[in-house]
Chain A
């Protein structure tokens, strides 16, 4: 990163830190949503962007993480700071199981992607039939008073949630920046570009792919815990939905797969776009169910056709922030 890049990053950090003091409730909730999808995008990017393993079922880890922490809180009153470790452990285990089964049996590419969908769908239907977590009727966490900050139980004001997710995004950014320049990062990029060549060079491709899957799953689990305590309700149909897996992927793909800043930029662009479309349609008075998503789909289509490598690589050249 150039000096100019570091300066711009510092400005962005300052703006994000000061944001809650200047904007209203709606803008703050939108910013929280953007950061949450930026974080899940960063987690997915570790697996696909760095190591080249396409997961189309990341909603699985969001859902399992969310349910693990929420169920502990709901049934035993155990707070999210303990619950998050269960969530991480469960998702890491799940990621390890899927990765082990797939990579041991030589499943890759499209087949691997479809396997991840299958596990997510399988789990969704499983949770629909699991009474302990409320089945299809959902699991609800008691909504606490929103004016007092109780960080220990993750109950509090919207600003508190904003800062928690901002910390997650910053942490993930630092982790990814470190990973990309570490031994693991170089191994992953070698695997992504040409797995056979990487193996010929003596890289234990199985092991490093496993590391990517487990790490990505564990990171996504934390997003699930945040999701559970931010929204206070969980339904299998929503949280495990393939639509959520697609949403997780859209950000990094639009922003730039494999880049550090792409998932964050992509999340901002997509959410602001969706919000803009909603307002535009409301202003025009064209409120027909579905019209919003049609516009959204059309814009996605145009972006994916004309900006194939994502917005960030092109923007980074313009801003002269990377070497």
Chain B
């Protein structure tokens, strides 16, 4: 096995990992603020992927243009989901929240199955076949663009939390729920806003993911698990951790596929997860709860 091959695989894993990271960022932000684990996260990602496929099939809309409507729609849907369905559950026990989101996930997966059937769908754009050559290392164009979009999406989210008043208010909610209520913040609105932001992350990641893999309804639960693995490895509630976890898992998947067998790739991720939970349960970049 040549070094070039390994380098190629690692870089591809890193780029895919950035898209994973953005998806996980959505989960992490929602958990960090609302304290609810979104068990329908991967299902939401597949909905974004199907939305992209539909827009492409109907109007030949390039996934990069599809980013705008899909992200806006996801923000709105996420806001409504939190405001209408999840807000009443924030004071209920964990297993109750889990049940609620599992029910949502079951409905999402099977609604997709009803509408689109079990066959895989994809989009075909010309830059999917192109690549950049850096010496002997080839980088897929589509993968690079997807990773850049993921970085841009993450940067916007970081900036939002850092520099805007709403972002600061949301951070206040996450730090001290009671304190936020006392100073008169509209916590329910901010929770819904946060769920909207998390959903928007999922939307960007999903639209970009269509460039990399074919989509079918059964991907949803697998991506939910992947998102869990990533945020636990990086640190649940830590934004930088989600991106780091995504990159690590992306690279470990790619290497496992190369060195062992592709079907064992998620075993590596789960193994990594178990190690992290045991030796650094707050995750690589997480704070002790």
A residues apposed to B, CB below 8 Å: 48, 54, 56, 101-102, 105-107, 109-111, 113-115, 117-119, 121-122, 125-126, 128-129, 242-243, 246, 249-250, 253, 257, 288-294, 296-298, 300-301, 304-305, 308
Contacts and interface: CB of A to CB of B under 8 A. Distances in A.
Contact of B110 (A110, A246, A293): A293
B205 interface: no
A291 B110 CA distance: 7
Interface string B96-121: 10111011111101111110011000
B26 interface: no
B278 A125 contact: no
A297 B104 contact: yes
A304 B274 contact: no
Contact of A296 (B31, B106, B117, B225): B106
A118 B228 CA distance: 9
A294 B107 contact: yes
A105 B276 CA distance: 11
Interface in B4-34: 31
Contacts of A126: 267
B267 A122 contact: yes
A294 B104 CA distance: 9
Contacts of A122: 267, 270-271, 274
Best-surrounded residue of B110, B112, B232, B271 (most CB of chain A within 10 A): B110
Contact of A56 (B31, B98, B104, B279): B98
A289 B229 contact: no
Contact of B281 (A111, A253, A290, A298): A111
Contact of B236 (A102, A110, A243): A110
Given A101-B278, A253-B95, A289-B117, A118 B273 contact: yes
B37 interface: yes
**What are the nearest 10 A-B pairs in CB distance?**
A290-B113, A297-B106, A290-B110, A297-B107, A293-B110, A300-B103, A125-B267, A290-B114, A301-B103, A122-B270
B99 A117 contact: no
B110 A253 contact: no
A297 B113 CA distance: 14
Given A125-B263, A246-B102, A290-B111, 19 more contacts: A102-B277, A105-B277, A106-B281, A111-B232, A118-B274, A119-B274, A121-B225, A122-B274, A125-B270, A129-B263, A257-B95, A290-B109, A290-B113, A293-B110, A293-B113, A294-B111, A304-B100, A305-B88, A308-B96
A102 B281 CA distance: 9
B236 A291 contact: no
A289 B113 CA distance: 7
B266 interface: yes
A247 to B, nearest CB: 10
Contacts of B217: 290
A253 B106 contact: no
B175 interface: no
Contacts of A290: 109-114, 217
B270 A301 contact: no
Interface residues of B, number: 45
Contacts of B96: 253, 304, 308
B92 interface: yes
A110 B37 contact: yes
Contacts of A291: 110, 114
Nearest to B277: A115
A119 B118 CA distance: 28
A121 B17 CA distance: 20
A85 to B, nearest CB: 28
A110 B94 contact: yes
Contacts of A121: 225, 266, 270
B175 to A, nearest CB: 18
B114 A294 contact: yes
Contacts of B229: 118
A297 B109 CA distance: 10
A298 B92 contact: no
A125 B102 CA distance: 22
Contacts of A56: 98
B264 interface: yes
B224 to A, nearest CB: 9
A153 to B, nearest CB: 34
Nearest to B263: A128
Interface in B218-253: 221, 225, 228-229, 232, 236
B111 A118 contact: no
Contacts of B103: 297-298, 300-301, 304
B102 A118 contact: no
B135 to A, nearest CB: 36
B280 to A, nearest CB: 9
A173 B44 CA distance: 39
A110 B39 CA distance: 12
A290 B111 CA distance: 6
A288 B116 CA distance: 11
Contacts of A129: 261, 263-264, 267
Given A111-B232, A291-B114, A301 B104 contact: yes
14 contacts: A106-B281, A110-B31, A110-B236, A111-B236, A114-B277, A118-B229, A253-B95, A290-B109, A290-B111, A290-B114, A292-B110, A297-B106, A304-B99, A305-B100
